[in-house]
Chain A
Amino acid sequence: MIPETFEYDSPSTLEEAIQLLQKHGDEAKILSGGHSLIPMMKLRLATPERLIDINGIPNLNYIKEEKDFLKIGALTREADIEHSDLLKKKYPIFSDVTKLIADPQVRNLSTIGGNLAHGDAANDHPAVMLALNASIIAHGPEGTRTIAIDDFFHGFYMTALNHAEILTEIRIPIPGKGTGGAYHKLERKVGDYATAGVAVQMTLDGKGVCRYIGIGLTNVNMTPLRASRSEKALLGEKVTPGLIQEAALYASEDCNPSEDLRGSEEYKRHIVKVLTNRMLHKAAERAMNGGA
């Protein structure tokens, strides 16, 4: 399978890339890891007339804590996230998620920026970013803007990014003491997209009362979904197994899975309930052990 013909540019600065995107309008697409885009082009589901390869732009691959934020550059590869000592130590939710994304070769190229910008509810990072309450930093012709994650996903393959905007950074508030995060998805085999996936980030105070909660769901809605009713049930309350069960039930009721080869609607709701329950327990455990 060979893509339709296209022109190719590899700019070496952000400004140049933005100018090219402006000049060529809708017919140009950004190329990052290429592991969503190239398969679609080979199947001719995408036929851009021009690719703007941003891999030659320096300083877009980093993971660092700065002031109140964990900052991840858009071109950071999944493999870099998987092997980052900082993330392994302080943000185990990233190890949970990256080892479930595709396989080692795909992770060597695919980027976190591309994973979010693709706007696919089947991708795993979006739900994690909802749980972590991330912000997206985008550079465009009008300068830089910050987009709250809740305003980012607009529809099937659609995000808040305007055409000539480039996602450059993901910003995550550094969590307070007593925070734990966890992610898991059910997949039929390695490299499969989620039948359903659940991301949880939770902060507990000394008395076991929930002071922050974020719950994101993968592949059970047109867009990545925040389990709002479950969050409301937990926030400000003492976290008990009974309350976790109630929150998990809400998540399974509020999602909108559709039947496909991965299972029926009923089955997927069941999986959401089971995974939400487990991830809430796991996040609470990590929170109590002082992990982030």
Chain B
Amino acid sequence: MATKPIKVTLNGTEHSLEVEPRLLLVHLIRENLSMTGTHIGCDTSNCGACTILLNGKSVKSCTVLAVQANGKEVTTIEGMATAEGLHPLQEGFREMHGLQCGFCTPGMIMRATELLKQNTNPTEDEIRWGISGNLCRCTGYNNIVKAIQYAASKLNGTEMPAELKEEVSAEE
């Protein structure tokens, strides 16, 4: 059985590898390239825990072959923070208690990244539809929606909705 040579850019670093065609992208990321921030939940394309960006589009990496990422850019949760600090979505999840166990969080954040790129100022309804492919078993979603609203305000430089502001200041 022949392996295939592939080149994949993961969070800005190019990697050249020889892989079996049946290797799944999520396994390439977690096992071959040792970035374990991307999680495997259902392994059946339902839960969204394995969501990553492939050339900027959010996809479920448990249902993509590593060879399909040849020549493409992959972004995972490890690629979100910069030297200046956390990405506004990461900050939003922290400030708004958008996570409890944290298992779904990397997938939620990667999905929300594309959502906010397509729609810089989504309504609550649009956020809920936008994350409809991601399951969370802990939070009940309300704080995840707030976390995404927090990030949207921050990225847009707009005023945060009043109830979000209250929550931030109650913390302080």
- Interface of A with B (CB < 8 Å)? 1-8, 10, 31, 34-35, 38-39, 41-42, 51, 53, 55, 79, 83, 99, 102-106, 108-109, 190-191
Contacts and interface: CB of A to CB of B under 8 A. Distances in A.
The 10 closest A-B pairs by CB, nearest first: A103-B133, A8-B21, A190-B132, A108-B57, A3-B22, A105-B133, A5-B1, A105-B60, A38-B63, A105-B58
Contacts of A106: 45, 60, 63, 133
A103 B64 CA distance: 15
Label chain A's interface by main secondary structure. mixed
Contacts, number: 82
Nearest to A8: B21
Label chain B's interface by main secondary structure. mixed
B30 to A, nearest CB: 13
B46 interface: yes
Interface of B: 1-2, 4, 20-22, 24, 27, 43-46, 48, 51, 57-60, 63-65, 67-68, 70, 111, 114-115, 118, 129-130, 132-134
A183 to B, nearest CB: 17
Contacts of A190: 132-133
A177 B51 CA distance: 43
A5 B20 contact: yes
Contacts of B70: 10
B141 to A, nearest CB: 12
Given A2-B27, A38-B63, 5 more contacts: A1-B43, A5-B22, A104-B133, A108-B58, A109-B59
B31 to A, nearest CB: 11
Nearest to A53: B68
B1 to A, nearest CB: 5
A257 B130 CA distance: 32
Interface core residue of A8, A42, A83 (most chain B CB under 10 Å) = A8
Interface core residue of A3, A51, A108 (most chain B CB under 10 Å) = A108
Contacts of B43: 1, 42
5 contacts: A99-B129, A104-B130, A104-B132, A105-B59, A191-B46
